[in-house]
Structure 1
């Protein structure tokens, strides 16, 4: 297994575990009004596992396809920025109980995914396409976040 694959898998595992630990499905969350299209809580873990696995695969492919250190730096920067933004959402929403701030943050997470899809395309079309499920899920999650803010105006401090 290549170093790129080991690092990519390690980051994906870290993000999955950290996201799970930072997500508190407690009384506050249960009391929120949610949109009708809200998936069941049990679906989020498997969805994120698949999405982060695809992202790790994408990162490995992109790193290996990069033509020289400049493109490798770009790949590392894009995935690094995305990882930081990915990690920030859960504490904003669940720990600090600020769906309003999470809604602002998710715009940056979404933009990092658009950047990944766009900027990976010339490096590796396959790596770019592997990010599309992540982009679709974050697009849907952004809508859910917006609906929760809209349906629960008093929770936005």
Structure 2
């Protein structure tokens, strides 16, 4: 089986795994106060799908370009860590009712994105550029979670 299919399957499992564990339609989450300017919440799932596709393509490129010398297991572990931290955001926030925990998971994933984008640049500039959507959205998502904490002091922990 080609590595690209394995990477895609693992990526999809992690992406949908977080969604299957919980639902952001949970009444507790839906009743949280949000900033007045957050009028585009309905497109956030599509933003994450785009980001996830970019990261998956980046991982495939890195694997295929570096597999000629040695398989980049450490880099793939970092891709997996980003995916895992991203996919546990919703279960942490909704199931554990911890906006703080979600902010930490999202912030760590974003930090790893910056590090990994830097590490893969010598292997493939294209793979590195594919981190850009996450690199832009990650800080915003972390900030938005921080705002939710500020707006929902009694509900957030």
- The answer to whether the 8 A contact 2:59-2:127 is kept is yes
**What's the offset of the Cα at 1:110?**
1.1
Q: 1:9 corresponds to which residue?
A: 8
Aligned-CA RMSD value: 1.8
Q: 1:59 corresponds to which residue?
A: 59
73-82 vs 55-64, which deviates more? 73-82
For residues 48-83 of structure 1, the C-alpha deviation after alignment (integer angstroms, 9 at most, x for no partner) is: 2111111111001011111522x6123212212212
Could you say which structure has the higher helix fraction? 1
Q: 2:99 corresponds to which residue?
A: 99
State the TM-score, normalized to the length of structure 1: 0.88
- The answer to whether the 8 A contact 2:24-2:94 is kept is yes
| Unmatched segments (≥5 aa) in structure 1 | none
Q: 1:86 corresponds to which residue?
A: 86
Q: 1:19 corresponds to which residue?
A: 18
Residues of 2 paired with 1:37 and 1:58: CA distance?
32
Alignment of 1:30-49 (within 5 A): 30-49=30-49
Q: Which runs of 4+ in 1 moved over 3 A?
A: none
Shift of the 151–112 alpha-carbon distance from structure 1 to 2, 3 Å rule, reads same
Alignment of 1:129-140 (within 5 A): 129-140=129-140
Shift of the 36–88 alpha-carbon distance from structure 1 to 2, 3 Å rule, reads same
